Amino acid sequence: MDAAHSERLRSFFQGVRFSGPQEELFLRSWNVYTFTQNELITQAGSIERYFYVVVAGVQALYLLNKNGEKVVLGFSYPGSPSGVFDSFIYHKPADTFLEALKPSTLLGISRSDYLSLFENHSDFHKWGHHFFRDILFGRLFREVELLTLSAEERYIAFMERCPEELRVIPQKYLASYLNMKPETFSRLRRSIRY
């Protein structure tokens, strides 16, 4: 693993302190994975094998509705975690797909190595508490937005929160994520400049 990847992991796991040998073992637990544009990283029905930290690219987490249309649940991008977390943690088949929307480089750790971190390093319990708390509150906040804001308000809120993602994520994925028709998203994109 190169120095940039090691630094990405140190940054992601801020607050976790290692001795020299512990950090070396930690860094050796991660591997670099690359995916081409539109490649499925995780297929629904399979078990997620890795917890990822994104180095480059953008990924979408989605499921298929009864009409076979993609319903986007979220995105991951450089500096964020990625993967199908429920499948990874519970070691059960995924209900969702994870797809590379752009060519992607991810750092991945296996489930056994991930669980070993929690068993052998007390700082990971504190990190895990904060990580999953932020995931939970992020999901709750998203549900409130979907239930209480108009399409225009959801679009503006996303623009303010994620201006860079607005430029690189394909429009049909953003429209699905914001729970609006692609035509509505396109109209809002033309009429609202940020």
Position 194 pLDDT exceeds 70: no
Q: Which residues of 79-116 are buried (b: 16+ CB within 10 A; e: fewer)?
A: eeebbbbebbeeeeebebbbbbbbebbbbbbebebbeb
Strands 70-76 and 104-110: unpaired
Q: Is the pLDDT of residue 88 over 90?
A: yes
Rounded to two decimals, the pTM is: 0.89
For 7-55, the pLDDT digits (tens) are 999 999 988 888 878 888 899 999 999 999 999 999 999 999 999 999 9
Q: Does 57 or 165 have the greater pLDDT score?
A: 57
Task: Please state, in angstroms and rounded to a whole number, the distance separating the CA atoms of residues 172 and 84.
Answer: 21
| Coil, helix or strand at residue 79 | coil
Q: Does domain 3-119 have CATH number 2.60.120.10?
A: yes
What is the domain partition of the chain in residue ranges? 3-119
Note the pLDDT tens digit of each residue in 113-146.
999 988 888 888 888 888 889 989 988 998 999 9
